[in-house]
């Protein structure tokens, strides 16, 4: 508000000074039009910045934020964001490449509402042979032996794609952030 008052006073001072610099009324009128044009350009720039911020705020309001955690040997997927998460998918997690131990997630979650949690079926495989939920405890920081990266893919209602990355290691769990694609 102070900025607007200062610019308004400056504008009036410049118009007043133009009466002393220019001798004829046409020159004063031309100076007033030029100054008005500059004000309009500045106002247009400020309006564009305001529009960009409004779009960003709307996007944040629609953005889902999906995380997964292990609870009682089950993968619990929760949407902590404000928007609905669509087509939630967890990329298979490689526990040990050399031993070919992988956690695969059997299903996608088509819709995950705000503050909703669902159990996602997961199965571990050792050299292609199912071991049930035997290795799932590696996703629990209290039992983790390896550093594992869980990547969750999902979309908002406008089909904008996101992914959340969670790194789990011994006694720690770190969210790497949301990536917008």
For residue 126, count other CB atoms closer than 10 A to its CB.
15
Comparing 18 with 43, the larger pLDDT belongs to 43
Tell me: do 111 and 28 sit in the same domain.
no
Contact status, residue 68 vs residue 119, Cβ threshold 8 Å = no
Where a domain ends, among 12, 34, 61?
Answer: 61
Number of domain units in the chain = 2
The per-residue pLDDT for 42 is 85
Tell me: do 40 and 115 sit in the same domain.
no
Which residue segment(s) compose the domain that 45 sits in?
2-61
Q: For residues 66 and 174, what is the distance between their CA atoms, to the nearest angstrom?
A: 14
Tell whether the model's pLDDT for residue 103 goes beyond 80: yes
Tell me: do 124 and 53 sit in the same domain.
no
* Span 49-81, pLDDT tens digits: 999 999 988 888 888 999 988 777 678 899 999
Residue 9 phi, psi (nearest 5): -65, -45
The per-residue pLDDT for 50 is 94
Tell me: do 117 and 166 sit in the same domain.
yes
Contact status, residue 85 vs residue 101, Cβ threshold 8 Å = no
- Reduced 3-state DSSP string for 134-162: CCHHHHCCCCCCCCEEEEEEEECCCCCEE
**Which band of pLDDT confidence, cut at 50, 70 and 90, is reported for residue 180?**
low
Residue 60 phi, psi (nearest 5): -65, -35
Tell me: do 32 and 103 sit in the same domain.
no
Comparing 144 with 163, the larger pLDDT belongs to 163
Tell me: do 91 and 158 sit in the same domain.
yes
**Which band of pLDDT confidence, cut at 50, 70 and 90, is reported for residue 88?**
very high
User: Which is it for strands 85-90 and 148-155: parallel, antiparallel or unpaired?
Assistant: antiparallel
Share of the chain above pLDDT 90, in %: 24
Tell me: do 86 and 166 sit in the same domain.
yes
């Amino acid at each position: 508000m102070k900025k607007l008052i200062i610019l308004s006073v400056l504008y009036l001072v410049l118009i007043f000074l133009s009466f002393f610099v220019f001798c004829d009324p046409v020159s004063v009128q031309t100076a007033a039009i030029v100054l008005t044009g500059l004000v309009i350009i500045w106002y247009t720039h400020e309006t564009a910045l305001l529009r960009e911020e409004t779009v960003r705020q709307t996007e944040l309001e629609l953005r889902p934020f999906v995380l997964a955690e292990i609870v009682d040997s089950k993968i619990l997927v929760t949407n902590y964001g404000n928007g609905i998460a669509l087509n939630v998918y967890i990329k298979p997690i490689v526990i040990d490449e050399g031993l070919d131990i992988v956690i695969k997630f059997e299903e996608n979650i088509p819709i995950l509402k705000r503050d909703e949690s669902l159990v996602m079926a997961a199965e571990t495989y050792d050299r292609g042979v199912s071991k049930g939920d035997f290795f799932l405890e590696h996703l629990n920081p209290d039992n983790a032996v390896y550093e594992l990266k869980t990547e969750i893919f999902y979309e908002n209602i406008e089909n904008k794609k996101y992914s959340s990355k969670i790194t789990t290691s011994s006694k720690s769990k770190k969210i790497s952030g949301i990536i917008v694609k």
